[in-house]
Amino acid sequence: MARNAKLESWVDEVAKMCKPDAVQWCDGTQEEYDTLAQLMYETGTFIRLNEKLRPNSFLCRSDPADVARVEDRTYISWATKEQAGPTNNWIDPNEIRTTMTGLYEGSMQGRTMYVIPYSMGPIGSPIGRIGFILTDSPYVVCNMHIMSRVGTKVLEVLGDSDDFVRGVHSLGAPLTDPKQPDVPWPCNAENKYIVHFPETREIWSFGSGYGGNALLGKKCHALRIASVQARDEGWMAEHMLILKITSPEGEVKYMTGAFPSACGKTNLAMLTPTIPGWKVECIGDDIAWMKFGEDGRLYAINPEHGFFGVAPGTSEDSNHHAMGTLRKNSIFTNCALTKDGDVWWEEMTDEAPAETVDWLRRHWEPSMDRPAANPNARFTTPAGQCPVIADEWEDPKGVPISAFLIGGRRAGVVPLVHQARSWNHGTFMASIMSSEKTAAAAGKVGELRFDPMAMLPFCGYHMGDYLSHWVEIGERADAAKLPEIFYVNWFRKSDAGKFMWPGFGENSRVLKWAFERCDGKADAVDTAIGQMPSPEMLDTDGLDVDAATLKELLTVDAAGWLESLPAIEAHYAQFGDKLPKALADELAGLRQRLEAAK
């Protein structure tokens, strides 16, 4: 098949710079995956797990200096700092291109450069997009096989178009001497860069082989670059899960949910309802791309093809369906290895194994004062294996969204659930979404850390302009067809410091109320902060929460909200004149209503 001339030219240009020993175009086949997995097994990167316990699955251990996203080395490189905005890490594009070109020069010697054609979203979907990663890491190739749609079909859909995201990734660990031994996890701990060039739709990554630093289709493309594409083209690229909810009568609705880290996002994506007759299925656990359909509604796809999840804390109790998903065909990174050839991590089982080999290849026993798995240990597993994956999760036209859920981790003030009065009010609520700092975090305990739309680390341009884009989406749409917006808080605590709401499957009670609110079938009380259910408006049959606690969960703490306003004002002040007037008006309206409610 004739290849794209612009693509060929770019690949040749990068190959001349990085000087790999060979260039291999990836075809996305199982044979390719198996061959590279075997190669990594032979070089010591992959450990093959017990075939009976975990078929076709592998464990690998990274260099201890390469275990997580490196936010301080992640840059948004617009022509001007103003375009990147106050919440992004900006670097001058000319300066960093010079620096990285020098680092890339000869960086793939002794290695193969893999050309990965990938589609974010079903191949050919009108909502999906195409990208390419040029990498010298077979680990990246195998993970991208799971996390995206890789192969020759992507090339066929692309044709001779130059509308694709260009990603270059080098481990920065050339093998300049043919006799030089390789290491199981090559990286360059001294020189790590993950740089986004939104204007040219490029991603340059150097030095790290780990996660989002190297799997460039994920946060780099699907959020940082896609958020700019979405702004320019009138759609939405959001850090959101996608749920399918079916009522006992068979009515179906789809909801997305934006939640910062440590707020139960993956658990909600695979929730098992506790209320009889209701069913929840998963479309996606992390990212949603949404475009307007011919009927004027927002349609969403999950641009990913797999789950790249944090392993510690995942268990049969916390997420039964996630555990079912990763029983086979999975890659585990920085987990512990058990004596019977399986993986283990903290909280995976009620009792820890008597002994394991930890992620740093050392003997480990439960009495030792160190974790067996790295706290950021990961699993990469096919989404199609999820026991509750929805049949339509790969529908190229997407699914129509009825509601957005948003929520941070708040011990006080924010009630269990409240609904926006309008799209702009919902945008306001999402823009002030926050979590409270704990004793483990820098800063004052209880201080708010704002994370608008859970996009703070992932927005590819000025956050003030991003908020304006949300307002503009509302202006160009039929208001009656826009999703309803609900702010939820599963993490309210009592004065004694205990969680007041049981969470997990019980969250289905809130989802049911939101589901019925979308149709106007559930009642609500008008409050200073939005529409809320009274305790009797929630389905509480069989719920183990006393009446006093439930009342407190659904009460507006007007004094607490008023005390929060200065922090919200300071949060907004950083955006200067780019803060949309609509949101300043919403803040003023909230203050007036709270003052009246005192």
| Residue 415: Cβ-neighbour burial (10 angstroms; 0-12, 13-18, 19+) | buried
pLDDT tens for 18-65 read 999 999 999 999 999 999 999 999 999 999 999 999 999 999 999 999
Can you tell me the distance from the alpha carbon of 20 to that of 520, in angstroms, rounded to the nearest whole number? 61
Confidence of residue 440 (pLDDT cuts 50, 70, 90): very low
pLDDT tens for 72-89 read 999 999 999 999 999 999
Which pLDDT value is given to residue 357? 98
User: What is the SS3 assignment for 338?
Assistant: strand
**Residue 345 in contact with residue 322, Cβ under 8 Å?**
no
Which residues make up the CATH 2.170.8.10 domain(s) of the chain?
306-385
Question: What percentage of the chain has pLDDT greater than the value 70?
Answer: 98
Can you tell me the distance from the alpha carbon of 592 to that of 578, in angstroms, rounded to the nearest whole number? 23
Are β-strands 417-419 and 356-357 bridged in parallel, bridged antiparallel, or unpaired?
Answer: unpaired
∠ Cα 207 213 216 (to 5°): 115
Compute the average pLDDT of residues 436-449: 59
User: Which of 66-70, 336-340, 421-425 has the least mean pLDDT?
Assistant: 66-70
User: What is the SS3 assignment for 222?
Assistant: helix
- Domain 238-305+392-597 matching CATH 3.90.228.20: the answer reads yes
Which pLDDT value is given to residue 446? 61
Can you tell me the distance from the alpha carbon of 396 to that of 394, in angstroms, rounded to the nearest whole number? 6
The size of the chain, in residues, is 598
Q: How is residue 498 written in tokens? A: 């205990």
Q: How is residue 271 written in tokens? A: 């929730």
pLDDT tens for 158-198 read 999 999 999 999 999 999 998 888 999 999 999 999 999 99
pLDDT above 60 for 438 = no
**Residue 171 in contact with residue 188, Cβ under 8 Å?**
yes
CA dihedral 291, 292, 298, 304 (to 10 degrees): -20
Q: How many CA atoms lie within 13 A of 394 on its CB side?
A: 15
Q: Which amino acid belongs to residue 550?
A: L
Q: Catalytic positions, please?
A: 263
Nearest CA to 543 out of 505, 515, 512, 488 is that of 505
pLDDT above 80 for 445 = no
Can you tell me the distance from the alpha carbon of 142 to that of 114, in angstroms, rounded to the nearest whole number? 11
Question: What would you measure as the largest C-alpha separation in the chain, in angstroms?
Answer: 78
Which superfamily does 306-385 belong to? Phosphoenolpyruvate Carboxykinase, domain 2 (2.170.8.10)
pLDDT above 80 for 209 = yes
Which pLDDT value is given to residue 441? 40
Can you tell me the distance from the alpha carbon of 404 to that of 406, in angstroms, rounded to the nearest whole number? 7
Residue 451 CA from chain centroid, whole number: 13
∠ Cα 252 416 594 (to 5°): 120
Which pLDDT value is given to residue 256? 98
Can you tell me the distance from the alpha carbon of 577 to that of 591, in angstroms, rounded to the nearest whole number? 21
- Domain 5-45+66-234 matching CATH 3.40.449.10: the answer reads yes
3-state per-residue secondary structure call for 550-583? HHHHCCCCHHHHHHHHHHHHHHHHCCHHHCCHHH
Specify the long-range contacts of residues 384-387, CB closer than 8 Å, at least 24 apart: 384/305, 385/324, 385/325, 385/326, 385/327, 385/328, 385/329, 386/270, 386/282, 386/307, 386/321, 386/322, 386/324, 386/325, 387/321, 387/324, 387/325
Which residues make up the CATH 3.90.228.20 domain(s) of the chain?
238-305+392-597
3-state per-residue secondary structure call for 87-103? CCCECCHHHHHHHHHHH
Q: How is residue 290 written in tokens? A: 């949404």
Which residues make up the CATH 3.40.449.10 domain(s) of the chain?
5-45+66-234
Q: Which residues pair with 114 in a beta bridge?
A: 24, 135
Q: CA separation (Å) from 399 to 388, 551, 569?
A: 16, 35, 36
pLDDT tens for 81-140 read 999 999 999 999 999 999 999 999 999 999 999 999 999 999 999 999 999 999 999 999
**Residue 17 in contact with residue 103, Cβ under 8 Å?**
no
pLDDT above 80 for 442 = no
